């Protein structure tokens, strides 16, 4: 990924590693298998995507995109966990959503030819794919199937952010954790998650905006209700519909 305004180096330890754009490489066959929209393309379209798609391995704290930078790629998470947040230098830090495996994001910014209005940062070691904006627009101009995929993404994301606004107003921690978990198991936006989300309690705490201890209490409560099962290194959802219906006494 040669665009200097996209995959940025982390502000945490910049001297210790090269910027993500310098670590970019062609996608491996197993990584291409994780791209949910690739099977929708015609053979010639797929060939161009495979040639243009690049992958970078992000360390904790690396920024995939940053507020104010021009959008040059459509991004996808092959593996790992990212978070979308505001600019914390302007006030309190707000996490808008987590971005788990299978997610592709940034299409709205590309379509509007805008700069990024959010930061995307790696919460753990992650593998991120990037499709250049020129290839993204080329696909839009020739593939009906790809257009439908992007349109469906935009529609589902609108519902996701409406739900996120509702979650933000909730006062009950159990409800916030339940709804936030349910959002991360979205089958359309995050098809790579499956039934088990690989996430630590600290990572979930960052996304929800609660302490790790309070997240642990909420998870234990949800497990006691038979909605989830806490597993080593992650959470298995047993009743997704039930998670979406959780309402605590303190919810707004």
Count Cα neighbours of 198 within 13 Å in the Cβ-side half-sphere: 13
pLDDT, position 27: 94
| 65 pLDDT above the threshold of 60 | yes
All domains of the chain in start order, with CATH: 14-156 (2.60.120.10), 171-245 (1.10.10.10)
The whole-model pTM stands at 0.80
Distance CA 186, CA 174 (A): 19
pLDDT digits (tens, 9 = 90+) for 128-150: 999 999 999 999 999 999 999 99
Q: Residue 57 has which token pair?
A: 């391995």
Count Cα neighbours of 122 within 13 Å in the Cβ-side half-sphere: 27
pLDDT digits (tens, 9 = 90+) for 149-165: 999 999 888 887 777 66
Q: Kindly indicate the confidence band of residue 229, based on its pLDDT and cuts at 50, 70 and 90.
A: very high
pLDDT digits (tens, 9 = 90+) for 15-28: 456 777 778 899 99
Measured N-to-C along each axis, helices 144-168 and 173-184 cross at an angle, to the nearest 10 degrees, of: 170
Stretch 46-52: mean pLDDT:
97
229 pairs with which residues across the strands? 236
| 247 pLDDT above the threshold of 70 | no
Which comes out higher in pLDDT, residue 78 or 179? Answer: 78
Q: Kindly indicate the confidence band of residue 246, based on its pLDDT and cuts at 50, 70 and 90.
A: confident
| 2 pLDDT above the threshold of 50 | no
- State CA 165 to chain mean position distance: 17
Stretch 43-53: mean pLDDT:
97
84 pairs with which residues across the strands? 97, 120
Q: Kindly indicate the confidence band of residue 71, based on its pLDDT and cuts at 50, 70 and 90.
A: very high
User: Cβ-count burial of 34 within 10 angstroms (0-12 exposed, 13-18 middle, 19+ buried)?
Assistant: buried
Stretch 211-229: mean pLDDT:
94
- State CA 160 to chain mean position distance: 12
The secondary element (H helix, E strand) that includes residue 63 is strand 63-65
Distance CA 218, CA 181 (A): 11
Mean pLDDT over each residue of the chain, to the nearest integer: 85
């Amino acid at each position: 990924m040669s665009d200097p305004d996209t995959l940025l180096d982390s502000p945490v330890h910049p001297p210790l590693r090269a910027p993500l754009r310098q670590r970019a490489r062609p996608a491996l066959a197993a990584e291409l298998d994780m791209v949910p929209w690739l099977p929708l393309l015609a053979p010639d379209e797929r060939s161009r995507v495979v040639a243009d798609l690049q992958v970078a391995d992000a360390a904790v704290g690396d920024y995939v995109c940053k507020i104010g930078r021009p959008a040059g790629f459509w991004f996808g998470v092959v593996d790992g966990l990212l978070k979308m947040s505001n600019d914390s230098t302007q006030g309190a830090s707000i996490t808008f959503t987590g971005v788990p495996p299978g997610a592709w994001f940034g299409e709205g910014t590309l379509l509007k030819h805008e700069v990024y209005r959010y930061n995307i940062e790696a919460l753990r070691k992650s593998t991120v794919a990037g499709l250049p904006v020129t290839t993204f627009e080329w696909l839009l101009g020739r593939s009906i199937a790809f257009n439908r995929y992007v349109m469906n993404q935009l529609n589902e994301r609108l519902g996701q952010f409406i739900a996120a606004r509702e979650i933000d107003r909730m006062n009950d921690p159990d409800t916030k954790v339940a709804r936030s978990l349910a959002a991360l198991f979205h089958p359309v936006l995050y098809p790579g998650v499956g039934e088990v989300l690989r996430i630590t309690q600290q990572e979930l705490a960052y996304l929800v905006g609660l302490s790790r201890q309070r997240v642990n209490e909420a998870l234990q409560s949800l497990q006691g209700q038979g909605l989830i099962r806490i597993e080593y290194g992650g959470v298995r959802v047993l009743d997704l519909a039930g998670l979406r219906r959780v309402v605590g006494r303190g919810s707004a």
